[in-house]
């Protein structure tokens, strides 16, 4: 494009417009996953809705590939594209909590830690993820789950309104009453329908103290304790979430030094009700086998939300593969144990999140997310630092995913999809995909917002039958 066009664009922006060679450019283009190394033509650091509108119009006029950065944490690195325009929302990080109405207005650049801290000042929270540096925007738009999901639903289930800039450059305020079709699409349809600049979430009384912590077993007991955990999950109260993690033990202070670096099974857990009830509910986790260490007790919810940050710090190389399960039979658990016995590096792990409860009672058509039958979500987390290990770690993750697939539901959690899993998108939206395509056709017919797990507009799908029609 002519340099004068870029200069005229920069003059419209209250934030910064960065190009290669500008001092902040190299840092601004980096995202959480170090395997993603892309160089946009321009980075616009937005400070207002008007900045976002100007960026959308500029990208459309110049036929530029547009990418959007919220927290920059997505595994596929869709926040940045070679030669494109990167819309950086990290300046829109404000969080306003109204304790009287139990509502929160959250900027699109806010991180989970920002939201948790603001809400916990009033003893409130909404279901979020488990890493405080994750962006709220990407999490919510893809569904979102964490420690509170069994009791209070998914992140998207608690979204009650949003402001969004669509492909025509318009700012729209959406909710169940205002543009309900677009509001429906935003609660799990990803970044396909526009750039959300702020979210409004429902809050719930949580904490500030919760009963939480870790129970660690030696890997030699993996089969026994995982089967005990699975059976326990069937009747666990919804206030309690217990996940299973197989990895090499970090140097946790409550573990004997001899266990550091050895394969272990870890059960992290959170009970979001009264702490004395949490202690009683979690007691069976200590009896799955003979633990080598445990650290359980009342602690601030916002603090436990940061507990896994050191294991998920920015700058590592990451590759994930994920399956949803409605049940975990013995054969499925056995193959996960076998894969965990072949970890390709000290930072790699397999974790399985316990779900169900409140999220499973939402109708599959109520939001784009159809995996309401998932009682467990597995993530094969390949993480390493040396690029020479790329092929080896990716191969391990793919083998594990493929071995588990016959036991899985066939759908997936789109926030865990990597850059090479576009073919899984339609299956993971199931019967909702046709409706999403119709809405994509309505709000983004040129597919301007395609740096994502893309839902193509209806007209771009040759011969596709679309039984659902968006209301006018």
What is the 3 state secondary structure string of 7-45? Answer: HHHHHHCCCEEECCCCCCHHHHHCCCCCCCCCCCCEEEE
How would residue 3 be classed by pLDDT, with cut points 50, 70 and 90? confident
Domain boundary among 189, 205, 221: 205
Read off the CATH number of the domain in which 196 is found: 3.30.465.10
Q: Is residue 375 part of a domain?
A: yes
Domain termination site, one of 51, 68, 88: 88
Residue 470 lies in a domain: no
Query: Looking at the structure, do residues 230 and 317 belong to the same domain, yes or no?
Result: yes
- Read off the pLDDT band of 244 (50, 70, 90): very high
CA–CA distance, 81 with 38 (Å, rounded to integer)? 6
Task: Determine the average pLDDT of the residues in 261-273.
Answer: 97
Question: In 62-214, where does DSSP find H-type helix?
Answer: 112-120, 136-141, 149-152, 180-186
Token pair 């601004």 in the structure block, residue: 28
Report the pLDDT value the prediction gives residue 460, as an integer from 0 to 100: 77
Judged against a pLDDT cut of 60, whether residue 176 lies above it is answered with yes
pLDDT at position 462 is 41
Looking at the structure, do residues 273 and 299 belong to the same domain, yes or no?
A: yes
CATH of the domain at 56: 3.30.43.10
Beta bridge pairs of residue 299:
210
- Residues 191 and 232 reside in one and the same domain: no
Q: Does residue 58 share a domain with residue 101?
A: no
For residue 32, is pLDDT > 60?
yes
Contact 377, 300 (CB under 8 A): no
Which one, of 147, 173, 150, 172, lies nearest residue 160 by Cα?
173
Model pLDDT, residue 461: 67
pLDDT at 341: 96
383 falls within a domain: yes
Q: H or E segment at 269?
A: strand 263-271
Question: Which residue, 1, 34, 139, 30, is CA-closest to 389?
Answer: 34
Residues 233 and 255 in one domain: yes
Residue 471 in this model has a pLDDT that exceeds 70: no
User: What is the total count of domains within the chain?
Assistant: 3
**Looking at residue 468, what is its pLDDT?**
34
Q: Are 196 and 166 in contact (CB under 8 A)?
A: no
Could you tell me if residue 331 is inside a domain?
yes
CB neighbourhood size of 265 (10 A): 29
Segment 137-159, tens digit of pLDDT = 999 999 999 999 999 999 999 99
Of 150, 94, 102, 148, give the one whose Cα is nearest residue 122: 102
Same domain (yes/no): 130, 59: no
Tell me if 466 is assigned to some domain.
Answer: no
Phi-psi region of 72 (alpha: psi -120 to 50; beta: other; left: phi over 0): left
Q: Are residues 344 and 309 in the same domain?
A: yes
Mean pLDDT of 13-37: 96
pTM, 2 dp: 0.94
Percent of the chain surpassing pLDDT 70: 97
Does position 464 have pLDDT exceeding 80, yes or no? Answer: no
Q: How far apart are CA 30 and CA 20, in angstroms?
A: 13
The string of pLDDT tens digits covering residues 309-362 is 999 999 999 999 999 999 999 999 999 999 999 999 999 999 999 999 999 999
Average pLDDT of 184-190? Answer: 97
Q: Which two tokens stand for residue 203?
A: 């809050």
Does a structural domain hold residue 354? yes
Average pLDDT estimate for 243-253: 96
Residues 263-274, mean pLDDT to the nearest whole number: 98
Residue 2's pLDDT is what? 81
* Burial call 441-460: b when 16+ CB within 10 Å, e when fewer: bbbbeebbbbbbbbbbbbee
The per-residue pLDDT for 423 is 87
What are 139's two structure tokens? 């999490």
Q: Which two tokens stand for residue 56?
A: 């959308």
Q: Which sign does the torsion angle of CA 116, 120, 122, 127 carry? A: positive
* Residue 270, SS3 per DSSP: strand
Q: Are 111 and 181 part of one and the same domain?
A: yes
Domain enclosing residue 322, as ranges: 209-422
Terminal-residue alpha carbon distance, the chain: 37
351 and 395 both lie in a single domain:
yes
Map residue 174 onto helix, strand or coil: strand
Same domain for 126 and 182: yes
Residue 11 pLDDT exceeds 50 = yes
Give the whole-angstrom CA distance, residue 292 versus residue 265: 10
Chain segment 83-99, per-residue pLDDT in tens = 999 999 999 999 999 99
Q: Is residue 185 predicted with pLDDT exceeding 60?
A: yes
Which residues contact residue 234 at a Cβ distance below 8 angstroms, ignoring those fewer than 6 apart? none
Q: Which of 377, 445, 441 is nearest to 414 (CA)?
A: 377
Write out pLDDT tens, residues 360-386: 999 999 999 999 999 999 999 999 999
Nearest 10 degrees: CA dihedral of 155, 156, 157, 161? 110
- What CATH code is carried by the domain that includes residue 312? 3.40.462.20
Judgement on whether residues 233 and 341 belong to the same structural domain of the protein: yes
CA distance 256 to 260: 7
Of 60, 88, 116, the domain-final residue: 88
Q: Are residues 184 and 331 in the same domain?
A: no
Residue 168 lies in a domain: yes
Q: Is 223 inside any structural domain?
A: yes
């Amino acid at each position: 494009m002519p340099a004068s066009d870029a200069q005229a664009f920069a003059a419209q922006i209250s934030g910064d417009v960065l190009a290669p060679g500008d001092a902040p450019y190299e840092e601004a283009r980096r995202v959480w996953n170090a395997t993603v190394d892309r160089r946009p033509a321009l980075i616009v650091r937005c400070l207002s809705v008007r900045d976002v509108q100007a960026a959308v119009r500029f990208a459309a006029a110049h036929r530029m590939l547009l990418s959007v950065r919220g927290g920059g944490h997505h595994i596929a690195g869709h926040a940045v594209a070679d030669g494109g325009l990167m819309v950086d929302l990290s300046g829109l990080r404000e969080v306003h909590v109204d304790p009287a109405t139990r509502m929160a207005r959250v900027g699109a650049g806010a991180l989970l830690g920002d939201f948790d801290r603001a809400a916990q000042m009033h003893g409130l929270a909404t279901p979020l993820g488990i890493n405080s540096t994750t962006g709220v925007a990407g999490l919510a738009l893809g569904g979102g789950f964490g420690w509170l999901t069994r009791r209070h639903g998914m992140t998207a289930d608690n979204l009650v309104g949003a402001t969004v800039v669509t492909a025509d450059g318009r700012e729209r305020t959406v909710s169940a009453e205002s543009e309900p079709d677009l509001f429906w699409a935003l609660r799990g349809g990803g970044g396909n329908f526009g750039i959300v600049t702020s979210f409004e979430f429902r809050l719930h009384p949580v904490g500030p103290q919760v009963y939480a912590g870790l129970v660690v077993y030696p890997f030699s007991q993996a089969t026994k304790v995982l089967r005990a955990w699975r059976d326990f999950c069937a009747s666990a109260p919804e206030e309690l979430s217990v996940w299973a993690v197989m990895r090499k033990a970090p140097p946790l202070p409550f573990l004997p030094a001899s266990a550091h670096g050895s394969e272990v099974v870890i059960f992290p857990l959170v009970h979001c009700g009264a702490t004395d009830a949490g202690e009683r509910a979690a007691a069976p986790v200590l009896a799955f086998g003979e633990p080598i260490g445990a650290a359980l007790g009342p602690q601030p919810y916002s603090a436990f939300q940061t507990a896994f940050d050191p294991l998920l710090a920015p700058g590592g190389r990451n590759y994930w593969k994920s399956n949803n399960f409605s049940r975990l039979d013995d054969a499925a658990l056995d193959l996960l144990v076998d894969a965990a016995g072949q970890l390709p590096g000290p930072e790699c792990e397999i974790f399985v999140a316990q779900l169900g409860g409140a999220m499973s009672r939402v109708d599959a058509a109520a939001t784009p997310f159809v995996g309401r039958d998932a009682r467990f979500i597995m993530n094969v987390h390949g993480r390493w630092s040396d690029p020479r290990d790329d092929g080896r770690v990716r191969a391990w993750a793919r083998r594990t995913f493929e071995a588990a697939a016959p036991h899985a539901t066939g759908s997936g959690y789109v926030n865990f999809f990597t850059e090479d899993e576009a073919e899984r998108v339609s299956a993971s939206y199931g019967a909702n995909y046709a409706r999403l395509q119709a809405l994509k056709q309505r709000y983004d017919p040129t597919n301007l917002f395609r740096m994502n797990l893309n839902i193509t507009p209806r007209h771009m799908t040759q011969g596709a039958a679309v039984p659902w029609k968006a209301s006018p």
